[in-house]
Every structure is written in structure tokens, then in C-alpha cells.
Amino acid sequence: MAKVAYVRVSTTEQHEDRQISALEPYKIDKWFREKISGKNTERPEFQRMMEYVREGDTVYVEDFSRLSRSLFDLLHVVEALKAKGVGLVSLKENIDTNTAAGRMMLGMVGVLNQFELDNLHERQAEGIAKAKAKGIYKGRKRIEKPGNWQEVYARWKRREITGTQAMKEAGLKRNTFYNFVKSEGATANG
């Protein structure tokens, strides 16, 4: 049963010292450290840590935000660890999922965070509605199709290139690319 620590800072200018100092008293067997944004779980050391842990291990973090910036990702990480039989200890939140009380507290934190997020979205929608009523809010700026769209789209449609290659050549993000593809289909059918 290994004690595994995951330490993350977002930029190369930030230091890991505070997290390491907080975790050292727990006699960690294996450390995973990285300097990368926590916006998603596509992080090399995080992925290595998830592959490394086995049933009976416990992952230690100084704070849940080191694992994930979003509640959605955090809950998925917790579920993935739980499915492997791996516990999670967060020092800042004082939560240990190896205990019944820790699992209950994590559930409460999840519910409270979701409540906070829902309230934020409601306030944002109210603000947008007021701005629209005043004629201030115009919505998101419309993204135009790139100059090479027709050529890239035709090659993609003939299966000469993959969607990923087409997105790269057109300089588009995934959702935008497929929205444009959908609009091409609507144009052809309409």
C-alpha cells in the first residue's frame, strides 16, 4: 500500500515548495510533480500517477485544486480512484476518502460546489438579459469560415484527410469545425 503524492503548479515561475513541505510528514513513497495548467486532466505526470496507483494505495494532495480546476473533472478523478480501490487525502479540505466521514464530506463539497456553479450561471444569465434589454450585449462574435474552408471541407468529405488534420489546416477548434460541417450539410439539404 503506497502513499503517492501529486504536486502541481500552473507555471514555471511558481514553486512547489509549499505543497512538498505540507506533504512530507506523511512519509510519501512516490512523488509525481509537474508545472502545467490544471484546466483538464491531460497532464503527463497526472496520467502517470493514475496509471501507477493500485488497490490499497492512497493519493495525497495539498488541495483539491491541484488535481483539478473543475468540479466535473475532480469528481471523475475521485470516481476513477475509487474504482481502482485507491483512497484520496486532501490536506486543505481535511478529507480522506478512506473513511466514511471523508466520503460523505467529499459528497457535500461536490453538492456545494455545484450549487455555487448553478448560482453563478443564473447570475450570468440575468446579467446578459439586462444587458440585452439595454442593447449593450451583442453576444459572442461570429466566427467566419477560413479562406481555405471549401478546399479543406472537400478533402475531408472525400476522406483524403482526417477531421483532426482538417481542423489543423483550417485553424479551427473541434466544435467550430463540426458546426461548419453541419452548416454545409444544412446548405446542401436546404
* CA 65/CA 87 separation, integer angstroms: 17
Q: Domain of residue 12: give its range.
A: 3-99
- Asked whether residue 142 is domain-assigned, the answer is no
| Residue where one domain finishes, among candidates 99, 123, 140 | 99
pLDDT given for residue 187 in this prediction: 61
CATH number for 26: 3.40.50.1390
Instruction: Please state the domain count of the chain.
Output: 2
- The residue type found at 90 is S
- Asked whether residue 18 is domain-assigned, the answer is yes
Task: Assess whether 10 carries a catalytic annotation.
Answer: yes
pLDDT given for residue 175 in this prediction: 87
Residues 6+ positions from 5 with CB-CB distance below 8 Å: 23, 26, 28, 30, 31, 32, 59, 60, 61
Average pLDDT per block of 10 residues along the chain, 190 residues long: 93 86 96 86 91 96 87 83 93 90 82 79 90 84 89 92 92 90 70
- Asked whether residue 49 is domain-assigned, the answer is yes
pLDDT given for residue 32 in this prediction: 97
- Asked whether residue 127 is domain-assigned, the answer is no
- Asked whether residue 107 is domain-assigned, the answer is no
Give the predicted TM-score (pTM) of the model.
0.59
